Amino acid sequence: MGKATKQKRRVAASTPEHAPNPFAMQHGEYHRPTLAYRRTPAIDSLRDAKDGSGKPKLSARQYAALAHYRDRYIACERSPIKDSCDQDMRGGNGDGFPFHRTAASIDLQFLEERLGRCHPRLIAIARYVAGQDHSLTQWAVHRHGPREGTINEAKTVALKYALIDIRMAGDCLAEGA
């Protein structure tokens, strides 16, 4: 029960049977910093991807604004149910809404108002891609329906418009920052 047992456990944990299932692998990118697999956020994939001219799909400014939106979105989506590890400061007798969540929801509302002033459709794509962590392809399918067969041009056009919209959302969010 010494060194050999530890090595055996490590080998067992690093086998491919602990990888995400094939369906999950189709709908997201995964990286493995340690033994566990972690899903790469969609906006990180867009930042690292290059378009046809070799430039990144998202600029650093757009990425920073969308990452801030994503952080606010995730902070608002956390469960309000108190768990055993919850050490939040609360008002009154301790049963109130946590302060950081209130601030996050106000900040998210402000960011979505800014997106709505630029164009109302930007709120939906920012929520879907940055907040809910879906890809641009999934957004195009969600918005325009699945395209199969010989209609690849329509899919390409839908993806181009989705990329333009997410860039516009990043620019709109970055303007007020």
What does the longest C-alpha to C-alpha distance in the chain come to? 64
The answer to whether the predicted template modeling score (pTM) of the entire model surpasses 0.85 is: no
Nearest Cα residue to 82 out of 66, 98, 99, 106: 98
pLDDT at 96: 56
Q: Hey, what are 169's tokens?
A: 């959302």
Structure confidence by residue, pLDDT tens digits, 22-50: 777 666 777 777 777 777 888 888 888 88
Structure confidence by residue, pLDDT tens digits, 87-142: 555 544 455 555 656 778 888 999 999 999 999 999 999 999 998 888 888 888 88
